[in-house]
Amino acid sequence: MCGIVGYIGNKEALPILIGGLKKLEYRGYDSAGVAILCNNKIETERSSGKIAALENKIKGHSMHGTVGIAHTRWATHGAPTEANAHPHKSYNGKISVVHNGIIENYISIKAKLESEGIKFLSETDTEVIPHLIARFYKGDLKTAVLQALAKLEGAFGIAVICEDEPDVIIGARRGSPLVLGIGEAGEYFLASDVSAIVNYTQKVVYLDDNDVVVAKTSGYELLNLNSQTVQRDVQQVDFDVEAVAKGGFDHFMLKEIFEQPESLRNTMRGRLLLGEGSAKLSGLDSNINELRSIRRIIITACGTSYYAGMVGEYMIEDLAGIPVEVEYASEFRYRNPIIDPGTLVLTISQSGETADTLAALKEAQNKGATVLGICNAVGSSIARASNGGVYLHAGPEIGVASTKAFTSQVTVLAMIALLLGRQRRVSFEDGIEIAKAISDLPNKVEETLKLSDSIREIAKQFASANNFLYLGRHYNYPVAMEGALKLKEISYIHAEGYPAAEMKHGPIALIDANMPVVVVAPKDALFDKILSNVREIKARGGRVIVVTTTDCTTLDDFADYVIHVPQTLSMLMPVLTCVPLQLLAYHMAVLRGNDVDQPRNLAKSVTVE
Ligand code: G6P
């Protein structure tokens, strides 16, 4: 999604800004732009398409200066054209702004400004911001920005520069992330995501909603939208710069799939109590007594995180006997959900910035719920707004298609289910068995990853397919959904996930030799049922790829391709069965020549509705 980078200091701003934008590429975007203060004049270059296209345009343009702002845009209001790309300038050309988020009342502001004779050059909501600032400007940029922001409804993260004040850059946020980086003497960075600036500094201040930062080479000041000074801690980012590089893999996605043994070890490090058969999650310590008395849980999330939530529902109901509902955050936030005093809300988000999930969290808190967050990005908006929670510690996930975050989310949910279960009906002995099985997962994932080459061979047989069906039952029903999502996201093949038994209520009509079916069928209590499903597909000429467990040879004679993964407890099988489906989607996308890490139309972090 959109990305912001800003710089003020004593170095050339352009390479720093472009370098920062490149670090944000993974978030998804469709145009980019940069503005630099060159001898007190704002010089701007913008381009539709990738950052490389912007760099080409800049080649013929000398853009020297030590203050600037830059942006990658993911179109919301207006097509991804150069005219709609940021930065946007004020009518008098003196003020330049980049913006993430959506200004909800821009139509009325635009109408008023147009009635005053201001001509708009773009279709964006953003363009009202520089015009408003210029309207209010009377020799003090800070005051003008505050006055302009007071007129805005909706969400924003912005960075602003001004020709008449060449030694200042201003940032502000409400509902869209922004971080201030503190560099060497007199050097400051602004970014919507810390990964854009971590190459330059690891000292950062995360802005809260309604914070404004005014940075000059002489120092910075933090205030709120009412112009009162606010204090925010300077934090050290423990971000490993190396970790965001591809590390020898062709794509971030493949690297992240192969990182899963390590990311899972990090997720469970210090949290499993193998001797007590339980888990210790320090982010839940202050809620531990409240957890004893909860009577209902609502899990809310989007995308892959939602499917992890579905696995969590089954695990928590199985182990703790607490009724759980899972709901898309986008539905939850507008549906007037019932939250009684015994209801706990769990939000799940890799990025911690998904707009719908954040809004669902706030809606739940408004209605009195305690909200716990399961996030990967430390210091993210959802993590900070939650009443407690558990970090994944999976490391940065760059590939747009989520992989290692999913397995870590399921693992965190397994530990939460174990903790809640041990508070209720799970025995000491069963707790020990579950904790041990969780701790064995990284080795079993390692084993599963050895299948990558053989899965590539299977992918070759299906690379030209137009449709795919994924089936699973019980714990592997969400895995079927997630497998279908992975294929859609990066191979652009239409795929649907279904609970296997539902096949006969519709999808079976689609089965023929052109509709490959992936069946997730580990040897478990429902194995015989799913075996009948496979027979039904074969009887109709369908081609079947089965993911089953190593101890099971029953399907070898029925299915066209059989992938064997190690066995674990049923509740943990999704951590293993999802891996071949990640690899299948990956290899199919590569074979089809797609941009695996930045699939078309998708964004890593969806920070607008
Ligand atoms: C986008 C991403 C998905 C992700 C979803 C939820 O759609 O492309 O990979 O699952 O957002 O994101 P979150 O960061 O909240 O888990």
Best mutation site among 74, 307, 332, 350 for ligand 1, i.e. most ligand atoms within 8 A of its Cβ?
Answer: 350
How far, in Å, CA of 396 to CA of 409, rounded?
Answer: 14
Residue 354 Cβ contacting ligand 1 at under 6 Å: yes
Cα-to-centroid distance, 136 and ligand 1 (Å):
38
Residue 305 Cβ contacting ligand 1 at under 6 Å: yes
Cα-to-centroid distance, 524 and ligand 1 (Å):
30
Mean pLDDT of 201-212: 94
- Dihedral sign from CA coordinates of 417, 422, 426, 427: positive
Residue 582: pLDDT band with limits 50, 70, 90: very high
Residue 345 Cβ contacting ligand 1 at under 6 Å: no
Residue 528 pLDDT:
87
CB contact at 8 A, 237 and 380: no
Residue 302 Cβ contacting ligand 1 at under 6 Å: yes
Mean pLDDT of 357-375: 96
How far, in Å, CA of 47 to CA of 56, rounded?
Answer: 9
How far, in Å, CA of 547 to CA of 580, rounded?
Answer: 8
* pLDDT tens-digit map of 515-529: 999 999 999 988 888
| H runs (alpha helix) in 227-374 | 252-258, 260-268, 288-293, 303-320, 329-332, 355-366
For ligand 1, what atom is nearest to the CA of residue 377? 14
Residue 238: pLDDT band with limits 50, 70, 90: low
Per-chain mean pLDDT for the chain: 93
How far, in Å, CA of 280 to CA of 270, rounded?
Answer: 8
Cα-to-centroid distance, 351 and ligand 1 (Å):
7
Residue 179 Cβ contacting ligand 1 at under 6 Å: no
Cα-to-centroid distance, 130 and ligand 1 (Å):
31
How far, in Å, CA of 604 to CA of 304, rounded?
Answer: 11
Preceding peptide of 130 cis, ω within 30°: no
Cα-to-centroid distance, 352 and ligand 1 (Å):
9
Residue 66: pLDDT band with limits 50, 70, 90: very high
Residue 543: pLDDT band with limits 50, 70, 90: very high
Residue 400 Cβ contacting ligand 1 at under 6 Å: yes
* pLDDT tens-digit map of 254-287: 999 999 999 999 899 889 999 999 999 988 988 8
* pLDDT tens-digit map of 412-450: 999 999 999 999 999 999 999 999 999 999 999 999 999
> Which tokens is 574 given?
């999704």
Q: Give the residue, by CA position, lying nearest to ligand 1 atom 3.
A: 303
Contacts of the segment 271-276: beta carbons below 8 A, 24+ positions apart: 271/415, 272/415, 272/435, 272/438, 272/439, 273/435, 274/432, 274/435, 274/436, 274/439, 275/432, 276/422, 276/428, 276/431, 276/432, 276/435
Residue 244: pLDDT band with limits 50, 70, 90: low
Residue 556 pLDDT:
86
Query: Global pTM?
Result: 0.76
Give catalytic residue positions: 2, 604
Is 92 a residue whose pLDDT tops 70?
A: yes
Of 29-38, 234-243, 540-549, least confident by mean pLDDT is 234-243
Residue 606 Cβ contacting ligand 1 at under 6 Å: yes
